[in-house]
Amino acid sequence: MKTYGRRSFLASVSCSLSTLAAAPLLPFAPVQTDSSCWLEACAPFILEDAERGLTTEIVLTSDTFVGTRGHEDGADATEYEILLYDSAGSATGAGAIARRFTVPAMHTTVIPVRELTGQARNFYGGMKIRLRPRCRELMHASDLFSSAFVRWSTKASFDNVHANPDPPQWQNTQPFYYSMPYPSLADYSCTFSLFNPNRTRSAGEIIIHDPQGRRAVAHRYELRPYASLLLNLNTGSFTSDPWQSPAKEKALHHGGLLAVINDEGTAKSFGYLMIHQPARERFSVEHPIHQGLSRPGPTVAPFDAQRQFRARNVLYTPLLFRAKRIGGITLESRCHFGSGLPLEETQWIYPFAADGEGRAVWSAMKDQKLPGCLPAGQTENGIIRLAAGQSCLLDFRELSLASNFSGGLAVAVSPDTTHTLMKLEVRVPEWGAHAFTHFRPGLRSARLYQQARQRGGLATDYIVSGARLIRARNRVEADELLGIINIDDRGLAAQPVIELFDSRGLIKRVPLGTVPPFACRHYLLSEQIAGDAALGMLSLRLTDERATLLMSVIHLDYLRRDIALDHGSDRFSTFQDYNCR
């Protein structure tokens, strides 16, 4: 088996990480553990619709525990409080708190929203989720991105997205720029749900940009405490119907970038974007990211004397497919890149792909088809260049990546940017199914996460949730496709183990074999577990003692003929940043 060392791998894609490798890690400040405390996440789109058969569930992972196996002896748990508000901002339940739970560590717990709304047939609003670990040593939640998930289901479609962190450090009234790229409005009906989880009002502007960054639509908004609103991107107008299907002649037939800017002195809000196929009743849900409101600095050309791209960071997804048959279906990937509000006037983006053996098999810089696939002025020397508010689509059916491919996509960037501005779309053509998620942060972030003492020394400790494995009479009805990419820069071959958790805790531990350096491999869960099974809802945990890995999954539902994505999250990704101070 041929594997690539770091130097030869990077040389093969015309990319230099010298500036990234030389950059020191941020100083590590030991987490104060003299008290446990409540932290918060919020879910901006809670929906019950009896006419459409749509139900919503909350999935609690309780994934804060001490050490590598602190979930096994029952000593660690997490307290949850769920606060549910209708669209007008009125609380549902006894007082403001709809339910309280104490969940043992890694006992995946599912809460139907209908139990919280008093069996109401229809409901639309937002949710706050407060959590406080009760562990063998006092500590706050280790990862707010994987503590709670929202799952929507109909007879035809389903999706799940994590609740969004709202730690005390973010709960202020400074202006934020909150943005994400959105897909073609000729293909989808997109409805944005904005929720104010604060006790003070939120006011500002919602802007829809076209791919060149021009303002196509802009609306002022004002939300009372705990209230919600809906904006349909196709019509550019507010609506009361999350399933609105505008006539095509009224639609803005392009993708672009959605941005929300809250006024100074008012609270920021949180949103989910429902991406809906009206003809097939399919939907997927994604979210924007907050960043500080600032003026971009001057453009810095990112090329060295040898015309190599000098990256400030690298972002990843292990879910890159080109006409690949896995599990009886065909998988296709495409990417939606947005600049948001970049640190410099130009955001440079350089994608390249690696296969299951760790070989660099495709790069944008070497693909002569790239300039013809993007709007004029958005490429230079094979690198994507975006100004503030701009966006683009990278469709691998139009590029030179060979068919029958499965692997990982890395995106080198300059200046640094957030991984959530890089959206991934996976399609199953024969099902008419689609799903969206976003990329993962790179090695620099992972090295910070690994410093937490409570982690127990694991190089990889990754969580996804909402998984299922249902197999009866030799027929698979629900399955999971795991994508695992080895991003470690020390040339280590990984030996990952996947752990399965349900409401009873750990039910199985499965070694996955070897993942070579820089390789991306895919595993069907049904092929790792023999015999009939009906397992769900599951949380999946990926661990490796030495190598740094990332994991994302595709949830496969063969009865609905639909898919959903979970990008996965390191179990300590917010531990050092978001405490109670």
Average pLDDT of the residues in 450-464:
96
Average pLDDT of the residues in 368-377:
92
Q: How far apart (Å, rounded) are the C-alpha atoms in residues 269 and 230?
A: 13
Average pLDDT of the residues in 13-25:
51
Q: How far apart (Å, rounded) are the C-alpha atoms in residues 557 and 563?
A: 6
| Nearest partner of 541 among 487, 486, 500, 569, judged by Cα | 500
For residue 13, pLDDT beyond 90? no
pLDDT of residue 15: 74
Contact 164, 273 (CB under 8 A): no
Q: How would residue 533 be classed by pLDDT, with cut points 50, 70 and 90?
A: confident
pLDDT of residue 21: 40
321-371 pLDDT, tens digit each: 999 999 999 999 999 999 999 999 999 999 999 999 999 999 999 999 999
For residue 249, pLDDT beyond 50? no
Helices (H) and strands (E) in the chain, counts: 5, 41
What is the H or E stretch that residue 371 is in? helix 370-373
95-134 pLDDT, tens digit each: 567 889 999 999 999 999 998 988 678 999 999 999 999 9
pLDDT of residue 27: 32
For residue 8, pLDDT beyond 90? no
Q: How far apart (Å, rounded) are the C-alpha atoms in residues 135 and 123?
A: 35
Half-sphere exposure (Cβ direction) of 145: Cα atoms closer than 13 Å: 19
Of all residues in the chain, the percent with pLDDT exceeding 70 is 92
Contact 502, 537 (CB under 8 A): yes
29-72 pLDDT, tens digit each: 333 444 578 999 999 999 999 999 999 999 999 999 999 999 99
Contact 563, 426 (CB under 8 A): yes
Pairing of strands 109-112, 55-60: antiparallel
pLDDT of residue 93: 65
Residues whose CB falls within 8 Å of the CB of residue 261, separated by 6 or more in sequence, listed in order = 175, 176, 177, 178, 204, 205, 207, 293
CA geometry: angle at 448 spanning 418 and 462, to 5°? 80
Q: How would residue 28 be classed by pLDDT, with cut points 50, 70 and 90?
A: very low
Average pLDDT over the chain reads: 91
Average pLDDT of the residues in 24-28:
32
Q: How would residue 5 be classed by pLDDT, with cut points 50, 70 and 90?
A: low
pLDDT of residue 580: 83
DSSP per residue, 556-580: EETTTTEEEEE--EETTTTTTT---
Q: How would residue 523 be classed by pLDDT, with cut points 50, 70 and 90?
A: very high
Structure tokens at 7: 């130097």
299-322 pLDDT, tens digit each: 998 998 888 899 999 999 999 999
pLDDT of residue 263: 96
Rounded to the nearest 5°, which phi and psi values hold at 445?
Answer: -65, -45
Contact 531, 424 (CB under 8 A): no
pLDDT of residue 33: 42
| Burial letters 391-421, b for 16+ CB under 10 A, else e | bbbbebeebebeeebbbbbbbbbbbbbbbbb
In single-letter form, the type of residue at position 63 comes to: D
Average pLDDT of the residues in 234-239:
93
pLDDT of residue 474: 81
Contact 532, 475 (CB under 8 A): no
401-417 pLDDT, tens digit each: 999 999 999 999 999 99
pLDDT of residue 579: 85
Q: How would residue 252 be classed by pLDDT, with cut points 50, 70 and 90?
A: low
